[in-house]
């Protein structure tokens, strides 16, 4: 009886059938630093993740990062960046946001998902910063996640980018990539965050989102990931990958 030969039972490295291929039995010990270094090189041709790009352009305060992250919710970076820039042309501080009415803010947010809901969220955040924190947003996770509309992903991303605090932001790309590696086995991003916080050295926490977001968007894509040219194929278990390029 002969087994069907498909792409799934051929080695990505040498093209041999997996049961006679030596590479398929030779996964090296997982080396996160080396993997992140390779990914750093691989993503150079691609745009930076939106929050990091905005910080480089001078919009790196904690408040601005938080606001941009809210813009980015269910919105592509290609939209997040121009909308954030348009927004910051009008208002950059909590006080300036409070001076905008909801219809004006909604209009500026046109192009993102749920612009009116995001306008209320931003006004609510600005109001608490001004009236509860005297205009200065405390740079801590508990305070940020107490703001209505701010979840762990945005809180950690804003803290990491704006303040350099060790913080891991797990978006859908990070969650997918580390599960495919076999580095974590989790169902939800919130679980992934907890596991990564126990496994990733703190000096790499901010790099996780900075590197894996563009890596997941352009190389380890949701459908048909680019495994055959992937720089970390030799370390990856390809968990759940049934078809790839």
Q: Is 219 in the site for ligand SF4 (CB under 6 A)?
A: yes
Contact 45, 24 (CB under 8 A): no
Nearer to ligand SF4, 39 or 206 (CB): 39
Q: Which of 36, 49, 206, 220 binds ligand SF4 (CB under 6 A)?
A: 220
Measured between alpha carbons, how far is 9 from 29 in angstroms, rounded to an integer?
23
Q: Is 226 in the site for ligand SF4 (CB under 6 A)?
A: yes
Measured between alpha carbons, how far is 181 from 177 in angstroms, rounded to an integer?
6
Number of residues forming the site for ligand SF4 (CB under 6 A): 14
Q: Which of 161, 168, 200, 227 binds ligand SF4 (CB under 6 A)?
A: 227
| Token pair 């390809």 in the structure block, residue | 238
Measured between alpha carbons, how far is 142 from 62 in angstroms, rounded to an integer?
14
Nearer to ligand SF4, 123 or 226 (CB): 226
- Please name which of 36, 52, 26 lies closest in space to residue 210, comparing C-alpha atoms: 52
* Least distance CB 72 / ligand SF4 (angstroms): 23
Contact 126, 30 (CB under 8 A): no
* Least distance CB 237 / ligand SF4 (angstroms): 8
Nearer to ligand SF4, 41 or 89 (CB): 41
Q: Is 184 in the site for ligand SF4 (CB under 6 A)?
A: no
Nearer to ligand SF4, 13 or 130 (CB): 13
DSSP for 123-139 reads HHHHHHHHHHSTT----
* Least distance CB 20 / ligand SF4 (angstroms): 21
């Amino acid at each position: 009886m002969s087994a069907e030969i498909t792409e799934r039972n051929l080695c990505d490295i040498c093209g041999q059938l997996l049961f006679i291929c030596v590479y398929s039995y030779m996964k090296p010990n997982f080396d996160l630093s080396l993997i992140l270094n390779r990914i750093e090189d691989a993503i150079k041709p691609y745009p930076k993740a939106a929050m990091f790009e905005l910080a480089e352009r001078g919009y790196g305060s904690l408040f601005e990062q938080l606001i941009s992250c809210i813009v980015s919710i269910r919105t592509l970076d290609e939209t997040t960046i121009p909308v954030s820039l348009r927004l910051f042309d009008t208002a950059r501080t909590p006080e300036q946001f409070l001076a905008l009415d909801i219809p004006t803010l909604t209009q500026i947010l046109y192009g993102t998902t749920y612009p009116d809901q995001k306008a209320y969220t931003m006004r609510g955040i600005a109001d608490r910063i001004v009236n509860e924190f005297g205009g200065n947003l405390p740079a801590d996770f508990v305070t940020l996640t107490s703001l209505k509309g701010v979840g762990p992903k945005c809180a950690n991303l804003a803290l990491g980018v704006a303040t350099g605090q060790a913080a891991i932001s797990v978006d859908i790309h990070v969650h997918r990539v580390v599960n495919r590696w076999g580095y974590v086995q989790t169902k939800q991003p919130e679980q992934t965050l907890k596991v990564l916080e126990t496994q990733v050295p703190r000096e790499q926490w901010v790099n996780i989102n900075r590197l894996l977001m563009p890596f997941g968007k352009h190389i380890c894509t949701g459908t048909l990931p680019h495994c055959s040219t992937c720089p970390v194929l030799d370390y990856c278990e390809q968990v759940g990958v049934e078809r790839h390029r």
